Amino acid sequence: MNKDNNEDNKELRSENDNNHNIILKNKIICLDEDCIAIKSLSLELKISILMSGESNFYIFTRCKSSGFDESTTVCCISKELKSARKFISFAVLEKDENDNFLIKNLKKQEIPHQTHHIEDLDLSEISFTFLDNGDNRVFVYLKEELQNSNMQLMGDFYEPINTMSNMMLACSGDLVSLKELEIRHIQRDLYVNERNGNNVNVQCCEIF
């Protein structure tokens, strides 16, 4: 992916073509260079995915083109086998005795059901917004169909950064198909003000 030159919108990249979903199996999506600046801005990812079987969708931010480090944030959307139940986890990376990174989940919570008309009962769609402020917090915003409100989930145990960074999307398990992806820089204050006028249900994730 290449960085967009439109500085007014601070758009990094958008993918929105429902006829050509990206199958993420054996693929990693990242930017061509470390061009994400979240020292004074926020990184916003608007994502829509289809999940089938037992699958996991990973979002890594605060990483480098060369790989991960201890400041990398991890967010995982997981789906159970033969079920529409989905969960969100916030995690960190820790090194084992062989100096390899392992994912350590710290918070996990079930995602409320989102109404989508899909005939296949094992195929589940989810749309959400991921926000990284560059401090100790990352957020996920979900639409709760039954309560007609926005649900905010948060991981607040990350190491702040002030350097240029990258992001990566990946998956494991049976099938994850990327329907829509929008990546952009946004002003932090503008993002918060937009949600102050909405009915936002703020929840801390239950630790499993």
In a domain, 126, yes or no: yes
- CATH number, domain of 85, equals 2.60.120.560
- The predicted pLDDT at position 118 comes to 57
Tokens of 204: 């801390």
Q: Would you put residue 52 in left (φ > 0), alpha (ψ -120 to 50) or beta?
A: beta
Q: Which of 83, 126, 88 is CA-nearest to residue 105?
A: 88
The first and second tokens of residue 110, run together, are: 């079930």
Helix (H) or strand (E) holding 190: helix 188-196
Considering the domain boundaries, does residue 1 fall inside one?
no
Asked if residue 90 belongs to a domain, the reply is: yes
User: Token pair 């948060």 is at which residue?
Assistant: 154
pLDDT at position 21 over 60: yes
191 occurs within a structural domain: yes
Higher per-residue confidence, 120 vs 180: 180
For residue 103, the number of C-alpha atoms closer than 13 Å in the C-beta half-sphere is 13
Considering its fold, how many domains does the chain have in total? 1
Average pLDDT, whole number, for the chain? 80
pLDDT tens, position by position, 45-99: 999 999 999 999 999 999 998 889 889 999 999 998 877 789 999 999 999 999 8
Pairing of strands 123-132, 138-144: antiparallel
CB neighbour list of residue 61: distance below 8 Å, 6 or more residues apart: 36, 43, 72, 73, 130, 132, 138, 165, 167
**Higher-pLDDT residue of 26, 60:** 60
Q: Which of 107, 110, 108, 105 is nearest to 85 (CA)?
A: 110
Going by C-alpha positions, the residue among 196, 199, 184, 173 that lies closest to residue 86 is 173
Of the pLDDT bands very low, low, confident and very high (cuts 50, 70, 90), residue 16 is very low
**Could you tell me if residue 2 is inside a domain?**
no
Cα(149)–Cα(9) distance, rounded to whole angstroms? Answer: 27
Phi, psi values for residue 160, rounded to 5°: -60, 150
Domain assignment of residue 22, yes or no = yes
Q: Is the pLDDT of residue 190 over 80?
A: no
pTM of the entire structure? 0.79
Q: Is residue 6 part of a domain?
A: no
Q: Please tell me the predicted confidence (pLDDT) of residue 191.
A: 53
What pLDDT is attached to residue 58? 97
Distance of alpha carbon 75 from alpha carbon 78, whole angstroms: 10
The residue segments making up the domain with residue 119 are 11-204
The confidence band for 3, taking pLDDT boundaries of 50, 70 and 90, is very low
Give the per-residue pLDDT at 20.
67
User: What percentage of the chain carries pLDDT values higher than 90?
Assistant: 47
